[in-house]
Structure 1
Amino acid sequence: MTVTITAIVLALAGLGLLIPGVWLATLGGSWFYAAAGAVMLLSAWQVHRRSAAAEWTYGALILGALLWSIWEVGFDWWQLVPRGGVIAVLGIWLYLPFMRRQLLTEDHHPAPGLPLALPLLAAIGVAIWSWTGDEASRKGELPTEVVSAEPDLGPTAPPGEWHQYGRTQYGQRYSPLDQINIQNVAELEQVWHYQTGDVKLPEDVTETTYQVTPLKVNNRLYICTPHNLAIALDAATGKQAWRFDANSGLEPDRQHQTCRGVTYWRDPGREEGELCAARVYMPTADARLIALDANSGALCDFFADNGTLHLEHGMPYTPAGFYYSTSPPVAVGGRIIIGGAVNDNFSIYSQSGVIRAFDANTGALLWNWDSGNPDSTAPIDWMNGETYTPNSPNSWSVFSVDEERGLVYIPLGNQVPDQLGMGRSEAVEEHASSVVALDVATGQKAWVFQTVHHDLWDMDVPAQPVLIDLEIEGETVPALVQPTKQGDIYVLNRETGEPVLPVSEEPAPQEGGLDEETLAPTQPISSLSFAPDPLRERDMWGITIYDQLACRIQYHRLNYQGRYTPPSLNGTIVYPGNFGTFNWGSVAVDPERQVMFGMPTYLPFTVKLVPEEEIPPPGANETASEQGLNRNEGAPYGVIMGPFLGPLQVPCSAPPWGFVAGTDLRTGEIAYKRRNGTVRDMTPLPLPFKVGVPGIGGPIITRGGVVFLGATVDDYLRAYDLTTGDELWRARLPAGGQSTPMTYEQDGRQYLVMVAGGHGSVGTKPGDHVIAYALPD
């Protein structure tokens, strides 16, 4: 009976490889799966006949699979196991003594076992050996020398405070505090824990996320929540000082329900202690900007309309939920400069992506820069019907400011629909997916640098530009560091927009897209890049050999010619996916050592265009930007998109999916790239395997040589050695840590604060936690 069942199992396992393996081979893929299936069927027949020859046949299969796997992927344990795991387990079963006694030689002796034992020992030995190594990571060290002893950290924040989203207007995410350092960071302990009470609701949109980075000014922390509560906390104890509810409500057509932060501004024209002398400005999910007294949380009723500025004024279309600002504006020179997010791929009848400057006291419009009409910045007369350009490229991320040069730096997105470029204007073609420098006083454009030409892949510039003065060949260069979704890091002169590190134009794929689409012949490529190598069939992955085989078949069925393969009716692999190599979390820089720390993530997406007449009637969850059907109302095509996943809903691309990395900004050399994060919260069992997982969020650096980062899809806050990328400490979080931490000093003690509230798109646990850590007192 056991022999019969074993033969059936082997036969089914063999057929499961042979039939799809032949399909793969006809698509131009590997013949191994078909051959392995045939050998497994032969061994099944031999087991059925109780022949000891099954050992020789199956032993040859184990050895062949081992050699083929090493040839394909080297000694990468995470890629070897799916290829050989099922084959090895069945081989171990055949080797068991009670099975060998039922498999007989020609002279009716039990099977000897040696033909199976040797290949199994070889496979086990390779598995053990590969487990001890890490071929995907790169080890190295960043330079430790101090290049600039008194670097420009940006204005407005004393050393122990955190006044802007990136600490200062430069967006460096660098703190000059060093009480916590690489020698003592492992001693960090939780010192207070505050819960906002703002939790994800059943009726909330999928993309309900908690991405806030608190501000610290004087003895207060200031935060906002996904449903637009503004809260002030005591910096030493975490006790609530005041709370304001914007009552922004729920709207099913919002693509995002989040708030990345508030803006602090001190009015030099008001006396200390006077109402609204210091203010907190909060953007809301229903397209408002609210001004609050930083001391009490009371509305500053002289600002705009009783403390509230309505951001939909002048918009050509105003459907509910299509426009709002998820990121804090910047306050500079008595101006509040703000952009806004326009829903991706909902409709071509969308609001403008205009950037506007308002008087910080009155809310009066001072200038507007519309990427669809970039030469006219005089305030429009919206009260008499003037409107901005519909659906022009928008900026949903965070701005940076160089007050000395009078420039504000704007990361721009794409025009909706992201995957359709027909009919874009000359102005849109110049400014979409770029970083632009505007004059703070007038809004006039100083320069623009485009990171993707004729973007068809949703490669918005997602991250706050980072400003830093670099010492290169004896000269001080005012630089801007711009991370991108496609993985390139552009280092530009922030005065002129010219590259500091080389940028070249490389040929881009020209086949496989829509007949009516025009493709950019070349794309800009930075010499400093974390863009992944193009996917190959051998990079396909799965938990078992069977779902890996399914991913290989899908790889060949979809269009793919490397980065910038155009979207298609057949379906296209987009890699890096629109989730991005880097996203809104940006990178952190150490302006003293002039090095950078980032978290590159690698997750392919698929995109399939759907003719308008084939789009089904409206249904639930069809307008989500990251996955599912995006309807593109008014456009000739909708789009179905999402992560490139296998049958078991794990990525089809092999891990690692996430790293931490360190770079010398003066040379553009990547010093190290280390796997980051475990699958503990990705699997039904809490497995602590350090695979290297996706993440979204940002790092910070301190003068103590420590980097702090949450972000990963396992719920941890971690500390790293900036020089080597080694993990030094980690704390388990009660929810997903998809925000950027911050640090400050209060009463002589350095605190580290992390907001843990989860992220809808990546599926981490939601929550409402604000947690502070410090060294033992």
Structure 2
Amino acid sequence: MNVRRNTAYALTLVWLSVGGWNCDSSSRDDDDEHDFAESRIDSAADGEWPAYGRDPGGARHSPLTQITRRNVSRLKQAWTLRTGDLSDGSQHPSKSTFQSTPLYVFNTIYVSTGYNRVFALNPENGEVRWTFDPKLNLDTKYFIGLTSRGVAAWADPEAVEGSPCQKRIFLATLDARLLSIDAENGTLCTDFGQGGTVNLAEGISNITPGHYGVTSLPSIVNGVVVVGSLVADDSRVDVPSGMVRAYDVRTGERRWAWDPIPRNASDPGYDAWSPEDAARTQAANVWSVIAVDAERDLVFLPTSAPAPDYYGGLRKGANPHANSMVALRASTGKFVWAFQTSHHDIWDYDIAAPPALTTIRRHGRSVDAVAVATKQAHVFFLDRETGKPIFPVEERPVPPSDIPGEEAWPTQPFPVATPNLVGDTQVTVADAWGLTPRDYAFCVKAIAGLRSEGVFTPPSKRGSIHFPSAFGGTNWGGVAVDENRGVLVTAINRFPQVVRLLPHDEPYTPFPGEEIGEQPGTPYRMGRRLLTGPDMGLPCTKPPWGKLVAVDLKTGGIRWESPLGRMPGLESIPGSERWGSRTMGGPIVTDGGLVFVGASSDDAVRAFDSSTGRELWRAPLPAGGQATPMTYRSPSGKQFVLIAAGGSIFLDRPPGDYLVAFALP
């Protein structure tokens, strides 16, 4: 191993063990940014992307500066890999997506596919070094589709350099397995669990095949690997537990387990539940990415809704610690604090976005914070030590439920400094929009007949408008944080959704495109659909329908916002480039002054000026870029931007199996 690689490896070990380095959080003006981008000297480790969010805290910030605002327009496609892991639902019952964010560590690119296969690639040209196949059963119907968002990497500081499994890749699968893989050759590390595998289904009841597993990567901190789970929480009452577990990173022995639902009188939050509800309620699982603060021995868990999502009559109360950002001791699993972003969730407003750790200047001092972006388009900044909001948060009255048996919580938390990122959340007839006269007339009539009282309008029998929808706001794409320029950037959806509750003992007629969830064990089935016109399938509300938003880290206010993407089929309509599109995926930021993001419905990847939000570059992709990109510097010194192009079953984009790299000529 050469000196440069030794240095990068050593720096990476330090980074992974202490949680990264904080930069000064002061912002710079445009001239300072040019000086910063062109004058700083990169270290070897700066070129790596060793974790899903680059650092264990998930900031998605790269210090690389070869690609800048001045030259980004020259970016060209450098190489492409096709994985072959592609399903359109005709051969296998589930469609595939390719949502993975690759890692660059140990001088190798590592990426997982929707089939849960892992590829190790040459960073210069994408050539395959090895593949690992966990033999996922493709004949199972996975309710979320064939999905994986990435893998985790770890190097054992106590093992001899170059020894078997001294460097490891960890993969969590759709069929609930946790695997440890030798990063050098792609073979299982047989000292972990049973022959390299831990069975995550062990100890979990009520599992239906395809309805319990893992789509996100595990997180590694202080000798343990922490993993959540994916639960079909909108299907029924008796779903599996949302238990979060930690395993010894070397042996796979379970070190601790934590249930988001308090089960015992000694559990924090138990006094807010009735014993019967606490015993019956499940889910509230952590399906998104877990952030790590190794120095504080903390993991930050974004929990989801208790089951079922849209009716809470069997789980009365605020339902802590569901729909919360929860901090646990990484070494023991001991509860430290929780902040709930929606009380008694009946909107499917789970925290889908990974938390992002940052440092904020407030009242003359630096505060280490965790940023929490939500589906309801709120952004909260919480003190990492205590969970207390750094910017003011108010409990405001919200509409009551008119469903018999439902007791909606009377207030919800609203950030004061940061406005709702979609804008006004109450949709009225005055907001109706349609590209054709028939679309417009349909939308006027539809809005007039629905319940619409802003964010947190409860589901109703006649139908309620949820704006933002359960798809966000911000979904799993999350945020990127540029402390040098003082901004947090996120992709936002502005699509309205209609949710109605249908009594099981009454007949009903589904609307076109309506998804029906039976919710057995409750008095009501659920119906939800996007509120769109009949001719063009466009939202009944005014554009932009998707945008990129930058939040100021000093004030909490909005620094800038820009439309993101273009809806397919509108290319010939003047002005439609400013209307945005539905998005799925997140941004990254670089010290070149850039935000890179795919996510949009028009099969493209873009670069924006991180100071102004101006779009500077756009390149077509061979399939939808519904993934979060990454950037790295290869051993030859070239900076690449890499994104998976795999389409999305949620955006109605055809599946793809492409990994596409861009670089300067």
Q: TM-score, normalised by structure 2?
A: 0.88
1:630 maps to what in 2?
517
| Separation in 1, partners of 2:216, 2:105 | 19
CA-to-partner distance for each residue in 1:503-552, whole Å, 9 max, x for gaps? Answer: 111110125x2021111111100121314202121211112122211111
1:412 maps to what in 2?
303
Q: 1:440 aligns with which of 330, 338, 357?
A: 330
Asked whether 1:260 is paired with 2:149, we answer yes
1:153 maps to what in 2?
none
| Separation in 1, partners of 2:142, 2:623 | 26
- Residues 1:687 and 1:762: Cα distance change in structure 2 (over 3 Å): farther
Q: 1:300 aligns with which of 159, 184, 189?
A: 189
Q: 2:116 aligns with which of 209, 219, 228?
A: 228
- Residues 1:407 and 1:668: Cα distance change in structure 2 (over 3 Å): same
| Separation in 2, partners of 1:248, 1:307 | 16
1:455 maps to what in 2?
345
What amino acid sits opposite 1:637 in the alignment?
Y
1:502 maps to what in 2?
392
1:641 maps to what in 2?
528
Instruction: Give the Å deviation of 1:289.
Output: 1.2
2:655 maps to what in 1?
766
1:185 maps to what in 2?
72
Mapping of residues 43-192 of structure 1, within 5 Å: 144=30, 158-192=45-79
- Residues 1:335 and 1:616: Cα distance change in structure 2 (over 3 Å): farther
2:486 maps to what in 1?
594
| Separation in 2, partners of 1:651, 1:571 | 16
Is the CA contact 2:231–2:239 (under 8 Å) kept in the aligned structure 1? yes
| Separation in 2, partners of 1:400, 1:217 | 19
1:697 maps to what in 2?
585
Q: Among all aligned residue pairs of Structure 1 and Structure 2, give the percentage whose two residues are the same amino acid.
A: 39
| Separation in 2, partners of 1:531, 1:603 | 9
What amino acid sits opposite 1:671 in the alignment?
R
| Separation in 1, partners of 2:102, 2:291 | 17
Tell me, which stretches of 5 or more residues in structure 2 are unaligned?
A: 1-26, 37-42, 268-277
CA-to-partner distance for each residue in 1:665-724, whole Å, 9 max, x for gaps? Answer: 111121211222123x24597988302111111000000101100000001100110011
What amino acid sits opposite 1:581 in the alignment?
G
What amino acid sits opposite 1:502 in the alignment?
P
Asked whether 1:423 is paired with 2:314, we answer yes
Asked whether 1:538 is paired with 2:448, we answer no
* Structure showing greater Rg: 1
Helix, strand or coil at the partner of 2:527: strand
1:74 maps to what in 2?
none
Helix, strand or coil at the partner of 1:186: helix
| Separation in 1, partners of 2:127, 2:451 | 55
1:717 maps to what in 2?
605
2:10 maps to what in 1?
none
Q: TM-score, normalised by structure 1?
A: 0.76
| Separation in 1, partners of 2:504, 2:100 | 38
1:219 maps to what in 2?
107
Asked whether 1:737 is paired with 2:625, we answer yes
What amino acid sits opposite 2:231 in the alignment?
V
Instruction: Give the Å deviation of 1:606.
Output: 0.6
Tell me, which stretches of 5 or more residues in structure 1 are unaligned?
A: 1-140, 150-155, 378-386
1:373 maps to what in 2?
262
- Residues 1:685 and 1:302: Cα distance change in structure 2 (over 3 Å): farther
What amino acid sits opposite 2:583 in the alignment?
G
1:13 maps to what in 2?
none
Instruction: Give the Å deviation of 1:451.
Output: 0.5
Helix, strand or coil at the partner of 1:678: coil
Q: 1:396 aligns with which of 275, 287, 293?
A: 287
What amino acid sits opposite 2:329 in the alignment?
D
Instruction: Give the Å deviation of 1:608.
Output: 1.1
CA-to-partner distance for each residue in 1:51-107, whole Å, 9 max, x for gaps? Answer: xxxxxxxxxxxxxxxxxxxxxxxxxxxxxxxxxxxxxxxxxxxxxxxxxxxxxxxxx
Asked whether 1:492 is paired with 2:382, we answer yes
What amino acid sits opposite 1:730 in the alignment?
R
What amino acid sits opposite 1:418 in the alignment?
D
| Separation in 1, partners of 2:279, 2:254 | 13
Instruction: Give the Å deviation of 1:400.
Output: 0.4
RMSD, aligned CA: 2.5
2:9 maps to what in 1?
none
Helix, strand or coil at the partner of 1:548: helix
Is the CA contact 2:427–2:447 (under 8 Å) kept in the aligned structure 1? no
Asked whether 1:583 is paired with 2:475, we answer yes
| Separation in 2, partners of 1:157, 1:561 | 53
- Residues 1:309 and 1:497: Cα distance change in structure 2 (over 3 Å): same
Instruction: Give the Å deviation of 1:174.
Output: 0.2
Q: 1:474 aligns with which of 346, 361, 364?
A: 364
CA-to-partner distance for each residue in 1:242-291, whole Å, 9 max, x for gaps? Answer: 01111111322533320000011112232111111111111111111111
Q: 1:604 aligns with which of 492, 496, 515?
A: 496
1:288 maps to what in 2?
177
Is the CA contact 1:315–1:388 (under 8 Å) kept in the aligned structure 2? no
1:108 maps to what in 2?
none
Give the number of the structure whose residues are more often strand, by fraction: 2
Helix, strand or coil at the partner of 2:505: helix
Give the number of the structure whose residues are more often helix, by fraction: 1
